[in-house]
Amino acid sequence: MQTAENVVENPLRAGMRLERTAEPCAVVIFGASGDLAKRKLIPALYRLVQERLLPAEFAIIGLGRTAMTDDEYRDRMKASVLEFSESKQIDEEVWQSFAQGMKFLPSNIENAECYQALAKMLEEVERERGTQGNRLFYLSVAPEFYAEAVRQLGAAGLTKSEKGWVRVIIEKPFGTDLESARQLNQGILQHLDEKQIYRIDHYLGKETVQNLLVFRFANGIFEPMWNRQYIDHVQITNAETVGVEGRGGYYEKSGVVRDMIQNHVFQVLSLVAMEPPAALNAESVRDEKIKAMHAARAFTPERVHTDCIRGQYGAGAIGGKPVPGYREENGVAPDSATETYAMVTMRFDNWRWSGVPFYIRSGKRLSKRVTEIAIQFKQAPHQLFGTAMEHITPNQLIIRVQPDEGITMRVAAKVPGQVTRIRDVNMDFRYGASFGVQLAEAYERLILDCILGDSTLYARKDMTERGWELVMPILEEWGASKAEADFPNYEAGSWGPEASFNLLEAEGRKWRRT
Amino acid sequence: MQTQESTVTFSALKGVDAAKLEKELTAMWGASSGESADDPAVGVTRACVLNLIVYAEGQEERAEVDALLEVVVQRHPCRALLVVADRGAEEAKLEAFISTRCQLTSRGAKKICGEQITIAAAGSAVVDSAATAVAPLLVPDVPIFLWWKDIPHYEDKLFDRLSELADRVVIDSASFDNPHFDLTRLAQILGERSESGSISDLNWGRLTSWRSLVASFWDVSDYRASLSKIESVRVEYDPPDRAPGEIAPKALLAVGWLATCLGWEIEGADAAAGEEEQRRFTLRAGERSLEVVLQPTEDVAGRDGMITSLTIRAEGGDEFHVALRPEENKLETGAKVGGGQHEVSRVLGYEARSEGQRLSSELEILTRDVLYEKAVAFAARLLGTIKE
């Protein structure tokens, strides 16, 4: 949908049906020949061209250390679209037309002169392509350069545009701990307004995550039950089958809490736990998300021991194929205490969720790749059917984020026959089944949102810091008690350490078999 | 995506018994599930997001619709109720067939299935019985679409009854035999029906990508001033196959759309002027006059009534155009502003969508499209100025 302002400005945008298309702009990609640009950004931008969602007045300036000409850069990007796009195809003429607006500037991110050259190139591009002074800087570089790039942009006067807007997309990870996240926020806010900053979390670009808002607030039947009166507990599973994939060195400094939980999982968690927003705009939605996260109970050292479990995988097999243990991976210390699995019990001290635990687990080399939210409702108050109910689990609502995006409601039903036997049955809604459309890649959606100035699906400053605030006690406690870790404590291809099952069992619950 | 189909013929000489049909369908579903009872991952998911009533005349159209429903079901698992009419038959007859349509997911796992009930009506049963046979077979609580694969017979009792059941009627103004008359009649019907139900036009859907590309010129703030200085609009179109001498409805809808959004009114038509078959109209935008030229191109097979180019010129030599290169499946767009000082052009892919895909898109829309209704009304007024 086009925004109301857009319709007023462009009367031909009135009415329905017309897809929202991007405003004219120049996208400057820092780290333009890097992995993310090749695998995700350029294929996403080309897909937007194919979908006719980018205007003619559009340009890309790639910045990178490697010296190359515009044509060489275009050729490289073309090869990456062929390799990494879903269709693995390119329409030569359409590509040529798109690539006309693509330039490359060899640059060193720390060198002020490069920003002068960038400013000049931007003026040139704006003149040639008519990008209306709108500039989007995409920081797809190592995290230690985020603050420096913004500082240099500010010093070169590029964080403001006389005519159009300036926005900056910052990739993950946003800081490595609370202190560094705060410093980073402080640093970039010296040169940019919060409204100009788009901290990307590609989980929020996934269709099912967006559907959570629709599911909760467009359906009258769920919201009245979405509280402690009816919900027993919530399980969020974020499981990967992959290991560290050659990034052992990076992962050693990171671990699953930093890599997944404090950002992606907390974003999803806040959408489940939040109150209804007053309006569907970036600030209202993000206000409610942060409010929910402020109600999350802090982790004391005692709580880390009672409510959290860490794990690290040993050798095992995934889908029948033997895989090495974490400590045998390249770049990993043989006595590494880095967690590749974490289970965290979140408890909210507010009216809605008091007494309802949110069990979160995330890990590498688990049995199956799945991200899902399972809402477990309370048992029916009276066991009317006696032993017939024995193997019945309470109602569950499962929201699958990936793969096979969809929603399943588990209910009890009578097995046909003379005797009353009751079984669980699943009522399935799958995106692929009800809307047989190819879901857009998260990056397509998020880049388009940014160009349109919609930051609803981006993380705000307070949320990034709150995520770190919550996990810091866990990281500190685990850091201080490395010797107690007893790693490796789960086999690759299993569902994680035994202790995580025991923890739920001690509370009279168990992990859902996903 | 793979489609599996199974059909059970259900004779219903004494009328269609909805309960019996439902029972047969349930049995058919049971059989499908049973095939893979040992492996739940290969079971079937019966899904229904809408009812789609389709009207087709004769066996040829029936075969076309069958093929098209395969595409529609991939996107909208539904209950399709296909009414096949043989109006000329002497003997009144009503027969029903049921079938399920399943698609395997990309991983070859669970099948997602919709179902189809075909009602073959002949002779007087077409008008007398077909609509009453359809009504009890509609799945409750999901939207009802009627796709009338023919020129709407507004006075026809069957059309009247089926459209009364439907939340939305889908037509195709590209199939009009007599576009000038039919479009004028459609405008009248839309005016009369505006409160009761809404009409969707596949041809308006075809125009969407053109509208989007034309509109996107004025997303650029620098160009926006030219919107109020438009001097001429030229639309070139392939002549409609069914009425080569008339203006293609799509071209008229495009002008209707521009005029509605920009508040243009009709000043007059100059039907006889200019090149052969060219139509020129004078419109008024506030105090200014502007010219609209509708120009048929050479008739090329397979382009039936398509727009091939749309050019808007404004004061000071500003020019904006979108053109189709059909043989290459490409669209060209270009803007020239500031007396030619600034020029931007590009080439885009033009993905010719199948009728099934177009119908699927229409089934996503439930609300009334007021802009479409106004565009049709304007097109009809424009036609009203032509003196034959």
pLDDT, tens digit (0-9, with 9 covering 90-100), for A480-510:
998 888 899 999 999 999 999 999 999 999 9
Which residue out of A45, A57, A81, A437 would a mutagenesis test of the B interface target, given it has the greatest number of B Cβ atoms within 10 Å?
A57
CA distance A453 to chain B (A): 14
- Tokens linked to A218: 């467009």
Chain B CB within 8 Å of residue A408 CB: no
DSSP, res A184: H
Q: Which residues of B fall within a CB distance of 8 Å from A49?
A: 348
Contacts of residue A50 in chain B, CB cutoff 8 Å?
A: 349
Same domain, B127 and B264: no
* One domain for residues B231 and B365: yes
Q: Which of A71, A45, A48, A50 is nearest to A60 (CA)?
A: A45
pLDDT: which is higher, A349 or A50: A349
- Pair B127, B273 in one domain: no
Q: Helix crossing, A146-155 with A178-189: angle to 10°?
A: 10
Judgement on whether residues B46 and B155 belong to the same structural domain of the protein: yes
3 state DSSP class of B160 = helix
Residue B191 lies in a domain: no
Q: Do B221 and A17 touch (CB under 8 A)?
A: no
Domain assignment present for residue B172? The answer is no
Does one domain contain both B36 and B135?
Answer: yes
- Asked if A91's CB is within 8 angstroms of B224's CB, the reply is no
Pull the structure tokens for residue B382. 């424009």
pLDDT at residue B195 above 80?
A: no
Query: Pick from A80, A206, A75: which is nearest to A140 by CA?
Result: A80
Write out pLDDT tens, residues A426-449. 777 666 555 555 556 789 989 999
Residue A348: closest CA among A284, A274, A276:
A274
Looking at the complex, report in whole angstroms how far the Cα of residue B73 sits from the nearest Cα belonging to chain A.
8
Token output for A257: 């809490």
Give the pLDDT mean for B334-362: 86
Single out the residue in B119, B149, B166 at which a domain terminates.
Answer: B166
The partner residues of A42 in beta bridges, in order of sequence, read none
Among the partner residues A12, A23, A56, nearest to B335 by beta-carbon distance: A56
Q: For residue B72, is pLDDT > 80?
A: yes
Nearest to B347 among A11, A94, A428 (CB): A94
Q: Does B6 touch chain A (CB under 8 A)?
A: no
Q: Judge if B325 and B374 occupy the same domain.
A: yes
Using the 3D structure, point to which of B166, B197, B223 is the last residue of a domain.
B166
What is the interface size between A and B, counted as CB pairs within 8 Å? Answer: 114
pLDDT attached to residue A487: 93
Reported as type and span, the H/E element at residue B115 is strand B111-122
N residues, chain A: 514
Last residue of a domain, one of B150, B166, B182: B166
Residue type, A123: E
Sign of dihedral through CA atoms A236, A241, A245, A249?
positive
Q: How many domains does chain B have?
A: 2
Between B65 and B314, residue with greater pLDDT: B314
Rounded to whole angstroms, the Cα distance separating B136 from B141 reads 13
Is the CB of residue B343 less than 8 Å away from at least one CB of chain A?
no
What pLDDT score does B111 carry? 64
Query: Shortest CB distance from A436 goes to which of B75, B261, B262?
Result: B75
Inspect the interface and report whether the beta carbons of B105 and A432 lie closer than 8 Å.
yes
| Minimum mean pLDDT range among A73-77, A114-118, B154-158 | B154-158
Cβ contact (<8 Å) for A55 and B216? yes
Residue B57 falls within a domain, yes or no? Answer: yes
Nearest chain B residue (CA) to A12 = B215
Q: pLDDT at residue B39 above 60?
A: no
- pLDDT value of residue A434: 53
Range of the domain at B263: 205-383
In a domain, B176, yes or no: no
pLDDT of residue B271 exceeding 70:
no
Give the single-character DSSP code of B375. Answer: H
Find all residues with CB under 8 Å of B151, minimum gap 6, and list them. B175, B176, B177, B182
Q: What is the pLDDT of residues A366-406, one digit of tens each?
A: 998 899 999 999 988 777 777 766 667 788 999 988 777 78
At B183 the pLDDT is 92
Is the confidence at residue B185, as pLDDT, over 50? yes
Q: Does the beta carbon of B323 lie under 8 angstroms from any beta carbon of chain A?
A: no
- Classify residue B358: in a domain, yes or no: yes
Backbone angles phi, psi at B238, to 5 degrees: -80, 135
Same domain, B233 and B134: no
Q: What is the DSSP pairing of strand A358-363 with strand A231-239?
A: parallel
Let me know whether B143 and B283 are in one domain: no
Contact predicate B315/B255, CB 8 Å: no
pLDDT classification of B9: cutoffs 50, 70, 90? low
Q: Is A391 a catalytic residue?
A: no
Residue B295: the pLDDT is 94
Which two three-digit tokens encode residue A194? Answer: 């919060």
pLDDT at site B49? 81
In a domain, B194, yes or no: no
Which residue of A18, A93, A433 is in closest CB contact with B77?
A433
Q: What is the mean pLDDT of chain A?
A: 90
A132 and B222 in contact by Cβ < 8 A? yes
CB-closest option in A50, A96, A130 to B222: A130
**Chain B contact for A393, CB < 8 A?**
no
| The one catalytic residue among A191, A264, A294, A382 | A264
Q: Are residues B215 and B337 in the same domain?
A: yes
Q: Is residue B189 part of a domain?
A: no
Q: Write the residue in B105, B333, B371 that is nearest to A15 by C-beta.
A: B371
Nearest CA in chain B to A20: B212
Q: State the CATH number of the domain containing residue B278.
A: 3.30.360
How does residue B15 score in pLDDT terms, banded at 50, 70 and 90? low
Q: How many Å apart are CA A504 and CA A338, to the nearest integer?
A: 23
**Contact status, residue A46 vs residue A68, Cβ threshold 8 Å:** no
Between vectors from CA B10 to CA B5 and to CA B16, what angle results, nearest 5°?
A: 120
For residue A130, which residues of chain B lie inside 8 Å, CB to CB? 220, 222, 335, 342, 344
Dump pLDDT digits (tens) for A197-226: 999 988 888 777 778 888 889 888 888 999
Cα–Cα distance, A183 to A189 (Å, whole number)? 10
Q: Are B47 and B33 in contact (CB under 8 A)?
A: no
- Both B103 and B48 in one domain: the answer is yes
Beta-carbon separation of A49 and B348 below 8 A: yes
Same domain, B82 and B9: yes
Which of A90-94, A356-360, B120-124 holds the top average pLDDT? A356-360
CB within 8 Å of chain A, chain B residues 12-31: none
**A315-326 pLDDT, tens per residue?**
999 878 899 999
Amino acid at A176: T
Q: Is residue B280 part of a domain?
A: yes
Confidence band for B34, pLDDT divided at 50, 70 and 90: low
Per-residue model confidence (pLDDT) at position B59: 84
Between CA A356 and CA A482 the distance in angstroms is 30
Residues of A with Cβ-Cβ distance to B213 under 8 angstroms: 52
**B233 and B121 housed in the same domain:** no
Nearest-CA distance from B348 to chain A in Å?
5
Cβ-defined contact of B75 to A435 (cutoff 8 Å):
yes
